């Protein structure tokens, strides 16, 4: 059996749940998802679950369906160790990405997390441009980003790489650790307190699962190192899962991802690239395109080395990607609106014909 407070349940959740309690439902938190089926943590213990047909029917895309970390209201079947999810609570935070390929659809990777550990190896996986993308999406989620740089034992000049990260991670704690020697782990562990949820995100093989095992004090998750021949990692975590640590706190481990496509991240870009946006605000003209205009503070900073060109290029790339996504979403919304009007018109004509036959 579990106590809901161990999983982050608060008094505000109790108030929000009152209407569902009156209907005989119970609260639970989504711990894992497997191809449309779920594992829940509840006061009855772990339960297998599916979603009510109404919930699936009313969902406007995958982003509205339950995700790992969600609080839900369930109709439990204790004798079967099972339940049906009837309602998903409003999310305090959510870490989302656009689904793969061309679909303009949201995928929620983690819900109701307090902090996002962006885990990156200091050896072959080290990539500042990819890190900027992760930071952008972490800020957009509403959670506190925390950068965890692993494998200091394999990187002789790791202090220099930490300085490189700190130069682009404004307002973000940066911790360099070794799971072998234990260096830096106490500072990371300080973020894990009872009732607090931390999501781990990063590429395959960077040490996310090893980190979970270290904090849990036992081998809960399978691990796989980055291959030394090509610097690539293999997927060890095959699905997102919420783990309750013995000392309190929860970690949400995710499969490794080398690339994340943005999902509605305008605020996240502004937060991540606050240095660039502050420079842009100093330009002589408010509509400066930052190309050849006189008095452009951005181009001046690039020329004198204050703003690295690679960081400027990364900022522009993420902006273009977000603008493209917004155009795709606008087109999808317009198409859905046309379908609704066409359906309503067809129904209206059918009603008129039915009245005419009476």
CATH code at position 55: 2.40.50.140
Residue ending a domain, choose from 88, 116, 138:
88
Of the residues 193, 223, 253, the one at which a domain ends:
253
pLDDT digits (tens, 9 = 90+) for 148-204: 999 999 999 999 999 999 999 988 999 999 988 889 999 999 999 999 999 998 888
Do residue 57 and residue 175 come from a single domain? no
Which residue range is the domain that position 171 belongs to? 94-253
10-50 pLDDT, tens digit each: 999 999 999 999 999 999 999 998 877 899 999 999 999 99
Q: Is residue 295 part of a domain?
A: no
| Distance of alpha carbon 147 from alpha carbon 122, whole angstroms | 12
| 100 and 239 inside one domain | yes
Q: What is the CATH number of the domain that holds 156?
A: 3.40.50.300
Half-sphere exposure of 81 (CA within 13 A, CB side): 5
Please tell me whether residues 100 and 57 are part of one structural domain.
no
Same domain? 119 vs 187: yes
The CA–CA distances, whole Å, from 353 to 18, 45, 177 equal 46, 55, 73
117 and 165 share a domain?
Answer: yes
What is residue 123's DSSP assignment? S
Report long-range pairs for 180-185 (Cβ below 8 Å, ≥24 apart): 180/153, 181/152, 181/153, 183/152, 183/153, 184/152, 185/214
pLDDT digits (tens, 9 = 90+) for 45-103: 999 999 998 887 776 655 678 999 999 999 999 999 999 999 999 999 988 877 665 55
- Report the number of distinct structural domains present in the chain: 2
Q: Would you state the pLDDT for residue 78?
A: 93
Asked if the structure places residue 319 within a domain, the reply is no
Least confident of 26-35, 120-129, 340-349: 340-349
* Residues 84 and 125 both lie in one domain: no
189 located within any domain: yes
Q: How far apart are CA 61 and CA 98, in angstroms?
A: 12
Dig out the tokens for 203 from the structure: 């590429």
Residue 220 binned pLDDT confidence (cut-offs 50, 70, 90): low
Gyration radius from the chain CA atoms = 24
Query: Does residue 269 belong to any structural domain of this protein?
Result: no
Domain termination residue (choose one: 253, 279, 314): 253
Q: Could you tell me if 226 and 134 lie in one domain?
A: yes
One domain for residues 249 and 150 = yes
**107 touches 201 (CB < 8 A):** no
Phi, psi of 332 (to 5 degrees): -65, -45
């Amino acid at each position: 059996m579990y106590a809901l407070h161990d999983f982050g349940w608060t008094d505000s959740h109790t108030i929000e749940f009152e209407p569902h309690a009156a209907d005989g439902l119970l609260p639970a938190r989504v711990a894992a998802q497997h191809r449309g089926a779920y594992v829940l943590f509840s006061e009855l213990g772990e339960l297998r679950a599916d979603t009510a047909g109404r919930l699936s029917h009313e969902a406007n895309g995958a982003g509205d369906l339950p995700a790992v970390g969600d609080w839900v209201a369930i109709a439990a079947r204790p004798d079967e160790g099972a339940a049906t999810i009837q309602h998903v609570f409003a999310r305090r935070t959510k870490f989302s990405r656009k689904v793969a390929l061309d679909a303009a659809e949201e995928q929620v990777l983690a819900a109701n997390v307090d902090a996002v550990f962006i885990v990156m190896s200091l050896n072959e996986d080290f990539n500042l441009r990819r890190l900027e993308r992760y930071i952008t999406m972490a800020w957009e989620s509403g959670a506190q980003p925390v950068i965890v740089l692993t494998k200091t034992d394999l990187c002789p000049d790791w202090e220099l790489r930490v300085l490189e990260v700190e130069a682009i991670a404004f307002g973000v704690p940066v911790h360099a650790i070794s799971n072998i020697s234990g260096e830096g782990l106490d500072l990371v562990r300080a973020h894990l307190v009872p009732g607090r949820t931390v999501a781990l995100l990063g590429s395959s093989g960077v040490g996310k699962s090893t980190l979970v095992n270290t904090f849990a004090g036992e081998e809960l998750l399978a691990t796989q190192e980055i291959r030394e021949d090509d610097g690539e990692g293999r997927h060890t975590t095959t699905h997102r899962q919420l783990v309750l640590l013995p000392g309190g706190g929860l970690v949400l481990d995710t499969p490794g991802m080398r690339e994340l496509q943005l999902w509605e991240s305008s605020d996240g870009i502004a937060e991540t690239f606050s240095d660039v946006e502050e420079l842009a605000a100093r330009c002589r003209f408010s509509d400066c395109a930052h190309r050849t205009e006189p008095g452009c503070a951005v181009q001046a900073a690039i020329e004198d080395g204050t703003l690295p060109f690679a960081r400027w290029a990364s900022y522009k790339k993420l902006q273009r990607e977000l603008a493209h996504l917004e155009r795709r979403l606008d087109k999808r919304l317009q198409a859905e609106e046309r379908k609704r009007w066409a359906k309503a018109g067809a129904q209206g004509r059918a009603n008129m014909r039915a009245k005419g036959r009476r």
